[in-house]
């Protein structure tokens, strides 16, 4: 811990009268140069202070230092609802948002190791391919011309696309993208070039060639009022141009699914997946080319670079090694530079973001982290803690929103928000050290001081779900049976192969499985809890029947919307080179609806009053079974306090996860698969989640949970531990059995930390 010193006013971030989202006039003093953890139940107001107030105001004021031309191109932040905020420093936000990127974004490009390697090969590779750009798969001078630097090629499979026994009129082109009656279908069926009633099998060779590959002329097709002239392209030519040339990731979801159904993808034949042209692949150092380096695990690449014994290459090698060693230090040595960033988990992406900042020589910054322990096994959390402390010791202020006991334990200062969530939260209920918090009478304090034991008795499986052997990613010919009718937890360190097994072996073999993963939910200002669990159609119908009007009158996205703000409730004034000014709509006063809609009532309330009801209140208000059933799922996942009409964009990450869970729980029974469902959840909320999962199992369902949280492991009937390490060192079945049997497992890191946890509970 950093040595404590007497705090002066200028050594602290001062907040007075913060009312952002659910904050209740909060005043707070946050010490600078220290590590402060903000905790509290999900939805208690942690993010509203740290991200909605401190981070936003810091970034807003920083942007004001630029001229108007630059400011118009920066993200625009409006002043948070706070009376006073002083002593801010520049904020660096490391949030949960996926790293993202397209197929051209890799770990190497994100961490900027690739540029160092390109310089290395341009100067010391034999034979040299030329300048460093000649080694870049994102530059025309270096990319493979066949796959354009992607390393793989998607090819149209005519066997999947065409039904040779059908005619064009009968739907011989099977893809919905060329459905009968559509524009693309008309280019062929109504072009006059072919007999649309003749089966494709009976086409002459000339007609078939024209249908598939013809181009370079125009055809006329009849419309309702006019005859249209269009450039003709054969099916293959048109399909490749419209859907394959730009890459599948650029397509909309519906289009992409339709395309994926009729294409086959594989490594590029020309470069073998290396992404690079022939000259770059021929250039080598110690017998390896730059693509070989990129495919090595980082833990193996480090000694490979260390073995380069060329004095002139030392500066660029040292630059690459500096970054690679930091990546390995955060437990990501199993990644390769060739790994696409879009395939990284949230925890992996967040740690890579941290690595970038550790190399910075800037000090006196405020680093803000949103639950950085997400996706980490208990074994890996200590590495994260070392990173956070290193940032603090460089002279920075570190603010962390976190639920993990281990992260809370290293804090210099802890702020606990509560006492509840939503309207029941928004207050500071504790400030002090982690030790003091464990003795405090708050939800977090009580949960920190309580350690649960193993499940008293486990359920007996009624059968098993057999999975076929798989070697996907790092799995080593793995096959594990899943017991039916019980709760199975799949665990192991990050990168061990858990998700590869569940999503690559289990789910594909049981396509009817109900999967609740970590994918984000839509969170626009027009999306609400009521719309997400799909009760609004019924609610609008109930209002329409009671008032003898149309259902659209009760939608702020349709006929009922206020004409001034189009149902947004607010008006944003774009002042060109100045920040936008958002004001509450004067005409509807933020209600979103036309005035005449407010006179229409159902059960004594208008639609605005109804959407202001919390889930808890709405359960008493509605009697319609379908509405009550779906609202009950929101209450079951611990969200009884949410107003029905609250925009999802204002909810915390944990709240959004639970709304997603509530939506899927209305599905029919069977096999449920949860991928790290404790993401964003407070320890008390985890208890509620486990109770909910237990209820699912008790109803006869089979539940499989991919999880690190030991509280979930302890409540399992059956555990599957994959490892023993990550990447190349993972992919093996380390253990399967009950949690009690897991305690005696050798070589299991999960067992090691489970024993430690239970020893604390026994004290």
Digit-coded pLDDT (tens) for 22-41: 999 999 999 999 999 999 99
Name the region of 2 (left: φ>0; alpha: ψ -120 to 50; beta: rest).
Answer: beta
Beta bridge pairs of residue 285: 288
Identify the pLDDT of residue 685. Answer: 86
Segment 465-469 shows an average pLDDT of 91
Identify the pLDDT of residue 512. Answer: 86
Rg (CA), the chain: 29
Query: How sure is the predictor about 523, in pLDDT bands with cuts at 50, 70 and 90?
Result: low
Residue 162 and residue 173 in contact, taking contact as beta carbons nearer than 8 Å: yes
Residue 162 and residue 200 in contact, taking contact as beta carbons nearer than 8 Å: yes
Identify the pLDDT of residue 738. Answer: 97
Query: How sure is the predictor about 515, in pLDDT bands with cuts at 50, 70 and 90?
Result: confident
Segment 730-742 shows an average pLDDT of 96
Percent of the chain with pLDDT over 70: 94
Structure tokens at 570: 């607010």
CA distance 723 to 418: 38
Whether pLDDT at 109 is above 90: yes
Identify the pLDDT of residue 319. Answer: 93
Cβ neighbours around 449 below 10 Å, total: 11
Which segments of 302-373 are extended strands (E)? 366-370
Higher pLDDT, 337 or 494: 337
Segment 493-500 shows an average pLDDT of 88
Residue 577 and residue 71 in contact, taking contact as beta carbons nearer than 8 Å: yes
CA distance 219 to 192: 8
Query: How sure is the predictor about 742, in pLDDT bands with cuts at 50, 70 and 90?
Result: very high
Whether pLDDT at 45 is above 50: yes
* Per-residue pLDDT tens over the stretch 658-684: 888 887 776 667 899 998 888 878 898
Residue 492 and residue 480 in contact, taking contact as beta carbons nearer than 8 Å: no
Q: In the CATH scheme, what architecture does the domain 529-650 have?
A: Up-down Bundle (1.20)
Structure tokens at 602: 């159902």
Structure tokens at 85: 């905020």
Identify the pLDDT of residue 443. Answer: 95
Residue 712: name the closest of 747, 750, 748, 744 by CA: 750
Identify the pLDDT of residue 608. Answer: 94
DSSP state letter for 516: E
Identify the pLDDT of residue 3. Answer: 43
* Per-residue pLDDT tens over the stretch 137-149: 999 999 999 888 9
Query: How sure is the predictor about 2, in pLDDT bands with cuts at 50, 70 and 90?
Result: very low
Residue 497: name the closest of 337, 730, 742 by CA: 730
Segment 281-310 shows an average pLDDT of 95
Identify the pLDDT of residue 495. Answer: 85
The DSSP secondary structure of 19-51, one letter per residue, reads -STT--SEEEEEETTSEEEEEESTTSSHHHHII
Whether pLDDT at 4 is above 50: no
**Residue partners of 182: CB distance under 8 A and separation at least 6:** none
Segment 418-424 shows an average pLDDT of 89
* Per-residue pLDDT tens over the stretch 568-610: 887 765 544 445 556 788 889 889 999 999 999 999 999 999 9
Query: How sure is the predictor about 161, in pLDDT bands with cuts at 50, 70 and 90?
Result: very high
Segment 29-58 shows an average pLDDT of 94
Whether pLDDT at 622 is above 70: yes
pTM of this prediction? 0.80
CA distance 72 to 229: 43
Identify the pLDDT of residue 238. Answer: 94
Residue 616 and residue 589 in contact, taking contact as beta carbons nearer than 8 Å: no
Identify the pLDDT of residue 524. Answer: 62
Q: What is the SS3 assignment for 432-488?
A: ECHHHHCCCCCHHHHHHCCCCCCCCCCCCCCCEECCCCECCCCCCCECCCEECCCEE
CA distance 609 to 597: 11
CA distance 695 to 683: 19
Fold of 107-151+270-341: ABC transporter ATPase like fold (1.20.1580)
Segment 282-301 shows an average pLDDT of 96
Whether pLDDT at 374 is above 90: no
- Give the CATH H-level superfamily of domain 154-267: ABC transporter ATPase domain-like (1.10.8.280)
The DSSP secondary structure of 626-678, one letter per residue, reads HHHHHHHHHHHTT-TT-BTT--GGGS-HHHHHHHHHHHHTTSPSSEEEEESTT
For the chain, helix (H) and strand (E) counts, in that order, are: 31, 23
Q: In the CATH scheme, what architecture does the domain 9-97+345-412+419-424 have?
A: 3-Layer(aba) Sandwich (3.40)
Residue 41: name the closest of 421, 588, 558 by CA: 421
Report how far Cα 344 is from the mean position of its chain's Cα atoms.
Answer: 9
**Residue partners of 48: CB distance under 8 A and separation at least 6:** 18, 20, 21, 22, 23, 426
Query: How sure is the predictor about 5, in pLDDT bands with cuts at 50, 70 and 90?
Result: very low
Structural domain spans, the chain: 9-97+345-412+419-424, 107-151+270-341, 154-267, 464-521+668-762, 529-650
Angle between helices 653-664 and 683-698 in degrees, nearest 10 = 10
The DSSP secondary structure of 287-298, one letter per residue, reads TB-HHHHHHSBH
- Asked, colleague to colleague, whether 107-151+270-341 and 464-521+668-762 share their fold, the answer is no
**Residue partners of 547: CB distance under 8 A and separation at least 6:** 553, 600, 601, 602
Which of 348-362, 432-446, 503-517 is the most confident on average? 432-446
Residue 106 and residue 114 in contact, taking contact as beta carbons nearer than 8 Å: yes
Identify the pLDDT of residue 761. Answer: 65
* Per-residue pLDDT tens over the stretch 322-342: 999 989 888 889 999 999 988
| The domain defined by 464-521+668-762 carries CATH number 3.40.50.300 | yes
CA distance 341 to 81: 36
Question: What three-state secondary structure class fits 85?
Answer: strand
Cβ neighbours around 583 below 10 Å, total: 11
Identify the pLDDT of residue 253. Answer: 72
């Amino acid at each position: 811990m950093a040595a404590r010193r007497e705090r002066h006013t200028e050594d602290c971030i001062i907040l007075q009268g913060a009312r952002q989202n659910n904050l209740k006039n909060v005043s707070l003093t946050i010490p600078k140069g220290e590590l402060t953890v903000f905790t509290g139940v999900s939805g208690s107001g942690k993010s509203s202070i740290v991200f909605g107030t401190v981070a936003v105001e810091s970034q807003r004021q920083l942007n004001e230092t630029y001229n108007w031309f630059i400011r118009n191109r920066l993200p625009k932040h409006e002043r948070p609802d706070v009376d006073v905020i002083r002593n801010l420093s520049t904020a660096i936000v490391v949030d949960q948002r996926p790293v993202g990127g397209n197929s051209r974004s890799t770990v190497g490009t994100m961490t900027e190791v690739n540029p160092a390697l390109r310089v290395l090969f341009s100067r010391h590779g034999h034979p040299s391919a030329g300048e460093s750009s000649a080694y870049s798969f994102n530059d025309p001078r270096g990319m493979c011309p066949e796959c354009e630097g992607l390393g793989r090629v998607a090819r149209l499979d005519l066997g999947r696309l065409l039904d040779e026994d059908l005619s064009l009129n009968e739907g011989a082109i099977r893809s919905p993208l060329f459905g009968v009656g559509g524009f693309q279908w008309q280019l062929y069926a109504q072009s006059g070039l072919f007999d649309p009633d003749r089966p494709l099998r009976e086409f002459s060779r000339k007609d078939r060639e024209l249908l598939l590959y013809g181009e370079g002329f125009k055809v006329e097709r009849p419309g309702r009022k006019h005859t249209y002239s269009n450039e003709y392209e054969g099916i293959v030519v048109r399909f490749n141009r419209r859907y394959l040339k730009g890459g599948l990731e650029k397509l909309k979801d519906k289009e992409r699914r339709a395309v994926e159904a009729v294409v086959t993808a594989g490594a590029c034949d020309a470069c073998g997946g290396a992404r690079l042209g022939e000259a770059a692949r021929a250039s080598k150092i110690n017998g390896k080319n730059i693509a070989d380096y990129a495919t090595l695990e980082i833990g193996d690449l480090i000694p490979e670079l260390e073995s380069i014994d060329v004095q002139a290459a030392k500066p660029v090698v040292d630059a690459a090694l500096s970054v690679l060693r930091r990546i390995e230090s955060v437990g990501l040595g199993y990644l390769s530079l060739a790994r696409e960033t879009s395939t990284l988990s949230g925890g992996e992406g967040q740690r890579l973001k941290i690595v970038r900042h550790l190399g910075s020589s800037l000090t006196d910054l405020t680093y803000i982290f949103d639950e950085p322990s997400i996706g980490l096994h208990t074994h890996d959390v200590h590495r994260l803690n070392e990173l956070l402390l290193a940032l603090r010791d460089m002279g920075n202020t570190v603010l962390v929103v976190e639920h993990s006991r281990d992260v809370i334990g290293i804090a210099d200062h802890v702020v606990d928000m509560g006492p509840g969530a939503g309207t029941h939260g928004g207050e500071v209920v504790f400030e002090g050290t982690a030790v003091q918090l464990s003795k405090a009478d708050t939800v977090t304090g009580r949960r920190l001081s309580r350690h649960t034991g193993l499940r008293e008795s486990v359920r007996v499986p009624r059968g098993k779900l057999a999975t076929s052997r798989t070697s996907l990613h790092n799995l080593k010919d793995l096959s594990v049976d899943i017991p039916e009718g019980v709760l199975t937890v799949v665990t192991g360190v990050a990168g061990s192969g858990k998700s590869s097994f569940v999503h690559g072996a289990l789910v594909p073999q049981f396509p009817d499985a109900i999967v609740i993963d970590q994918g984000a939910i839509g969170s626009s200002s027009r999306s609400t809890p009521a719309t997400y669990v799909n009760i609004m159609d019924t609610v609008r119908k109930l209002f329409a029947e009671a008032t003898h009007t149309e259902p659209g009158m009760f939608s702020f996205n349709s006929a009922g919307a206020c004409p001034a703000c189009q149902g947004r409730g607010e008006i944003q004034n774009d002042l060109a080179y100045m920040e936008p000014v958002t004001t509450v709509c004067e005409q509807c006063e933020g209600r979103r609806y036309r005035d005449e809609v407010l006179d229409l009532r159902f059960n004594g309330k208008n639609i605005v009053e109804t959407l202001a009801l919390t889930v808890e209140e709405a359960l008493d208000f509605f009697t319609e079974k379908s509405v009550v059933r779906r609202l009950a799922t929101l209450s079951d996942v611990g969200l009884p306090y949410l107003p029905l009409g609250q925009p999802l964009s204002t909810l915390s990450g944990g709240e959004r996860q639970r709304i997603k869970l509530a939506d899927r729980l209305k599905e029919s029974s069977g096999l449920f698969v949860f991928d790290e469902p404790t993401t964003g959840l407070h320890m008390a909320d985890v208890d509620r989640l486990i109770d909910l999962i237990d209820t699912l199992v008790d109803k006869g369902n089979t539940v499989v949970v991919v999880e690190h949280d030991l509280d979930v492991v302890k409540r399992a009937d059956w555990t599957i531990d994959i490892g023993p390490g990550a990447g190349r060192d993972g992919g093996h079945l380390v253990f399967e059995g009950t949690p009690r049997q897991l305690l005696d497992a050798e070589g299991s890191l999960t067992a090691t930390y489970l024993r430690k946890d239970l020893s604390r509970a026994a004290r």
